[in-house]
Amino acid sequence: MTETVELSEVAPRDGLQSIGAFVPTETKIALVRATYEAGLRRMEVGSFVSPRAVPQMADTGEVLKVAKQLAGLECTVLVPNRKGFEAAMNAGADRLGLFMSVTEAHNKANLNRTREESFADLAAIVREAPKGTRIRFNLSCTFHCPFEGVVPERDALDFIERVVALDPAMEIALADTTGNASPDQVRRVFEQAHKAWGLRFAFHGHDTYGMGLANVAAAWEAGCRIFDAASGGIGGCPFAPGATGNVAMEDVVWLFRRMGVETGVDWQKLLVAADMAAAVPGATPGGAMRRVPAGRLAA
């Protein structure tokens, strides 16, 4: 294997946020540890959002404290505004995932703000974050919106350009929040983004319509080398009607293994983490490899 890929585990955050009943903090920490033991070294461990809007993330500070003790783990917390930023700083976070939507309707549904209000707030955070803070800017609904439909590629690229201008070195994630992007659309957007601004982009995919893995492959072919996924295929955005789980980490790892791409992941330990995630009460697991007998035997 000569090529490598960076994988970011999002089950502790995106995988759990939509579950109604509160998942015990100890369960969240156990999931963080299990995915870490599988070799995953990038992880979204929670988000500093309104506990009224997303009560599942109310204990993010506690989870982050434990996660930061794991050697070599890059643990990110999501932040939608200045209040979340201040809470993250007070909790000792040094890796932030800022987020907003490309479309006006989803931004209002998800964050109760206009796009311009969100962008102004997040731009100020990029400028004012303490030295040494690593920031990734996540763009929800880059390809499709549950309220506005397919996002015109020119509209997506114009908004990406505004984000790039905030910090030329900042990583930017393009998210298929609804899982309704098509592989040709994903390929074109990534090709144009890479051509214009270089290889700074990550792909965050969902599998609502069964196209998650095809979209991962399309982004890879277009030059993307950073991918989000959730062990067990759990998750979904609570403010994107109909959107289901993230693309499953075990499916993504298997795809890259078959392509000869090094992931740094221990396959059997990943299956343990995927089973743990899928067994969380209230979770809606997805993916294929966890359920394929031959896959469970593969080294």
- How much of the chain exceeds pLDDT 90, in percent? 90
> Facing residues of 6 across strands?
226
Residue 207 has pLDDT above 90, yes or no: yes
Which residues carry out catalysis? 237
pLDDT tens for residues 117-165?
A: 999 999 999 999 999 999 999 999 999 999 999 999 999 999 999 999 9
In 3D space, the residue among 161, 144, 162, 160 whose CA is nearest the CA of residue 152 turns out to be 144
Cα separation, 108 vs 114, in Å, equals 6
Residue 249 has pLDDT above 90, yes or no: yes
Q: Compute the mean pLDDT over every residue in the chain, rounded to the nearest whole number.
A: 94
What's the pLDDT at 257? 95
Confidence of residue 68 (pLDDT cuts 50, 70, 90): very high
Which token pair is 162? 């505004």
Confidence of residue 293 (pLDDT cuts 50, 70, 90): confident
What's the pLDDT at 199? 84
Q: What is the mean pLDDT of residues 220-238?
A: 92
Pairing label, strands 95-101, 134-140: parallel
> Domains of the chain (ranges plus CATH)?
6-297 (3.20.20.70)
What's the pLDDT at 299? 52
Residue 237 has pLDDT above 80, yes or no: no
Give me the amino acid identity at 132.
Answer: G
What's the pLDDT at 240? 59
Residue 34 has pLDDT above 80, yes or no: yes
Give every CB contact of residue 291 below 8 A, 6+ residues apart in sequence: none
- Which of residues 257 and 299 earns the better pLDDT score? 257
Residue 60 has pLDDT above 80, yes or no: yes
Residue 242 has pLDDT above 80, yes or no: no
What's the pLDDT at 2? 76
Cα separation, 83 vs 113, in Å, equals 14
Q: What is the pTM of this model?
A: 0.96
Confidence of residue 219 (pLDDT cuts 50, 70, 90): very high
Cα separation, 225 vs 104, in Å, equals 28
